[in-house]
Amino acid sequence: MQILASKFIYSKDKGNLKEVLLPFKDLPIQLAFFQRRDFSEAEHDLIKEICKSLNIEIPTVHAPIIDVFDPDFLKVIESIKKIYQIKIISIHPQRGEIESALAKLREYSSIIESLNLILAYENFGSSVAKRKWINSPYQMYLKFDLPFLKITFDTSHLDSPSDCIEEFDRVSDKVETIHLSDRTLKRQHLPLGEGLLPYKEFLNHLKEKEFGGFLVLEYLDEFQDRLIEDLKRVSSFLL
């Protein structure tokens, strides 16, 4: 298991990248982009240069908002691979019809496999099911029959965080990445211990199962200091 901090880079960070990345010195991160503009306008060579100087490893990337129906889908994931030379990309499902999405992914399968990429789709709660062609972890587990389709298991997006262990066990052999954060009934991506997630039990379970993927702490930006502190505590507990 590799334990990472999620770090989003936004268009507004241009010209201020070293200051933005400095708090993550000597830590591994999942580099993340929210909007397409954040990715297209990013100074990727400079990001890599700064990360190298700060001993920040980037073993996985969170793609910006794009999905298989978008005409630029392949272009974006190819760019991520070319720039960062990673294997696993976390990605959000978007609008569409499930069988059409899977057919499109089958159409692109030879290209994606030639890139040696895994697309780890992130689960979402039932409240957004009408806006996603797929949303629940178990639905992904049943429908993902291509070798490069895997799961990013997000604890903040579960309908019932208290059932996280049961939900995880139903899909664990297709989970490549876990996005770990707490949630209340009204807010998501909170620091551990601030909501409904039985995080200590979940971490113990991951340790016992010897989970071998990425465990990414993903907090709201306002909790960045706490994220870094918690990353060190979780790493000390698990490793």
pLDDT tens per residue, range 175-226? 999 999 999 999 999 999 999 999 999 999 999 999 999 999 999 999 999 9
Question: Span 60-69, mean pLDDT?
Answer: 97
> Alpha helix (H) ranges present in the chain?
17-21, 36-40, 44-53, 73-84, 98-107, 109-114, 137-143, 164-171, 199-209, 224-238
Alpha helices by DSSP H, listed for 22-72, are 36-40, 44-53
Domains of the chain, start order: 2-238 (3.20.20.150)
Q: What is the pLDDT of residue 181?
A: 98
Report the pLDDT value the prediction gives residue 239, as an integer from 0 to 100. Answer: 81
In whole angstroms, what is the distance from residue 11 CA to residue 40 CA? Answer: 9
Mean pLDDT in residue range 3-14: 97
Position 81 scores a pLDDT of: 98
What pLDDT, on a 0 to 100 scale, did the predictor assign at position 145?
96
- Identity of residue 209: K
Structure pTM? 0.97
pLDDT given at position 167: 98
Name 75's Cβ contacts closer than 8 Å, sequence gap at least 6. Answer: none
Share of the chain above pLDDT 90, in %: 99
Phi, psi values for residue 222, rounded to 5°: -65, -15
pLDDT by residue (tens digit) across 89-138?
A: 999 999 999 999 999 999 999 999 999 999 999 999 999 999 999 999 99
What would the pLDDT profile of 20-64 be if each residue is shown by its tens digit? 999 999 999 999 999 999 999 999 999 999 999 999 999 999 999
Average pLDDT, the chain: 97
Out of 97-106, 169-178, 230-239, pick the least confident: 230-239
